[in-house]
Copies of this chain bind each other. A is one copy, B any other.
Amino acid sequence: MSADEAATMFHSGMTVGMSGFTKAGDCKALPDALAQRAREEGLQLTVITGASLGNDNDGLMAEAGLLARRMPFQADPVLRREINAGRVMFMDQHLSETVEQLRCGSLPPVDVAIVEAVAIREDGSIVPTTSVGNTASFVQQAGKVIVELNLAMPLALEGMHDIYIPGERPRRQPIPLTSVSERIGSTAISVDPQRIAAIVITNSVDSPSSNLPPDAETQAIARHVVDFFSSEVSAGRLTPALLPLQAGIGTIANAVLHGLLESSFSGMTMYSEVLQDSTFELLDSGQFTFASASSITLSAEMNRKFLDNVERYASRLVLRPQEISNHPEIVRRLGIIGINTALEFDIYGNVNSTHVGGTHMMNGIGGSGDFARNAHLSIFVTKSVAKNGAISSVVPMVTHVDHTEHDVDIVATEWGLADLRGLAPRERAALIIERCVHPEYRDMLRSYHARACAAGGHTPHLLAEAFEWHQRYAATGTMLEKVAEPA
């Protein structure tokens, strides 16, 4: 069926589950066809995905007015604009939780699932492409399933997936996964062929990752983290294989993993939600023995290499539903080392991952909470300043909290790393200020913290000043007290 014909099956008010996780394995044809119907006929849908989509899909759908409601994650500038204007109702969710909420009725059920596949087997079961995301649960729940069969994806992907869906509560059994490389499910998504309402043929690869190459600052952050791992190994708290690594999507977390190439660690594994270029570099170097995730999101060059050589990697990779890649049960059991990116953090180690200025959504919390809460070590990284120093990433108080200080063990910027384990808030603040803050902002934070401590409390703050830096930036263009002379 053509995408346009398949798009006629939808009507306003429906909830649609789409494949796609961090630009990988998203649908290539239906989003555009649905956007066309929105432009022509005002079609409006609730769209749930795994995570962000590529191919400008979110932007196209948002611009056309198709999206009444969108969850659980996005990373598109047009959709972001619509969300922040209050025109798209966005639910920012822990990525392990969306299908749990669908299953127990906390969210309305998925009417139609649209999923990209590399193959449909004779029994009707669907073989996903470069991500699993929430696809298996969407297919399980949807009355109708539309499959986009993508001819640009190599058939060698078949066998790489491990589809497992937890049972009904309260009689659910333990998820039997006890190691990174274990397989606990099937290699395809089973579905009654009667529910496959359409098959649409496509032929285009995923959008490339938008990660920037490592720079002096991200390399310095990586060095601090690698040095910290070395000291943990020396102290006997980690082995040279470390513990299974998770790294958030994006330039900085990817750069930290890239930094492991220079390390002497070996026998390492990854248990993450997304595999980026650095994972493949570390598989190639032999330092990674296995990588488990829910998606593969690569630069154009690395993607070509991967798709041409799937067989070379197949025995060392597995793609799981995001509910399993991010499941608190598994994260806690394996003892993950989680490395995620902060937009800003405060002197006590609370992290804002999502809201610019406390109000405007950037992308979403993604899987960072799934990992940070239950990790063996929860590490957050960021450059110490943004906008050429006009914004300090370390502030008196974050304007939005995604991760509370309970869930943050380590913070690092290019200036250094603060190991917050076992410390009370006043101690955390002293360490963060000395280790992580850009020198231009250090005295300002020392002054804030000293005056707050004098006023007392377990977590001292001066409420009248807590957001003064953000307000100053909004008013003057810099968080610094004296505006610098123009260069």
A residues whose Cβ falls under 8 Å from a Cβ of B = 69, 83-86, 89-94, 97, 100-101, 104-108, 166, 169-176, 178-180, 235-237, 243-244, 327-329, 332-335, 350, 355, 357-361, 365, 369, 373-374, 376-377, 399-402, 404, 406, 409, 421-424, 426-427, 452-453, 455-461, 463-464, 466-467, 470-471, 474
Contact = CB atoms under 8 A, between A and B. Distances in A.
The 5 residue pairs across chains A and B that have the minimum distance between CB atoms = A359-B457, A169-B335, A174-B174, A361-B458, A401-B401
Given A328-B328, A357-B463, A170 B421 contact: no
A456 B360 contact: yes
9 contacts: A86-B426, A89-B424, A93-B406, A94-B373, A170-B334, A174-B329, A329-B329, A360-B458, A361-B459
Contacts of A361: 457-459
A382 B466 CA distance: 26
Contacts of A105: 235-237
Q: How many copies, total?
A: 2
B424 A91 contact: yes
A406 B369 contact: yes
Contacts of A106: 237, 376-377, 409, 421-422
Contacts of A470: 463
* Max count, chain B CB within 10 A of own CB: residue among A69, A332, A455: A332
A176 B85 CA distance: 48
A457 B84 contact: yes
Given A89-B426, A106-B377, A369-B404, 10 more contacts: A89-B427, A107-B421, A108-B422, A169-B335, A170-B179, A174-B333, A355-B458, A358-B463, A359-B463, A399-B463
Contacts of A456: 84-86, 359-360
Nearest to A333: B172
Contacts of A90: 424, 458
Determine the main DSSP class of A at the interface with B: loop
Contacts of A69: 424
B169 A355 contact: no
B101 A243 contact: no
A458 to B, nearest CB: 4
A41 to B, nearest CB: 24
Contacts of A173: 178
A401 to B, nearest CB: 4
A51 to B, nearest CB: 15
A467 B83 CA distance: 25
Nearest to A452: B359
A294 to B, nearest CB: 18
Contact of A359 (B84, B421, B460): B460
A210 to B, nearest CB: 21
Contacts of A377: 106
Contacts of A237: 104-106
B373 A373 contact: yes
A328 B406 contact: no
A456 B176 CA distance: 46
A100 B365 CA distance: 25
A321 B401 CA distance: 30
A94 B406 contact: yes
Residue in A92, A97, A424, A427 with the greatest tally of chain B CB atoms within 10 Å: A424
Residue of A329, A470, A471 with most chain B CB atoms under a 10 A cut-off:
A329
Contacts of A94: 373, 406
Nearest to A232: B105
A14 to B, nearest CB: 15
Nearest to A462: B359
A105 to B, nearest CB: 4
A176 to B, nearest CB: 7
Contacts of A334: 169-170, 172
A68 B445 CA distance: 26
B461 A359 contact: yes
A465 to B, nearest CB: 10
A385 to B, nearest CB: 20
Contact of A358 (B328, B422, B461): B461
Given A458-B359, A461-B359, A376 B471 contact: no
B328 A169 contact: no
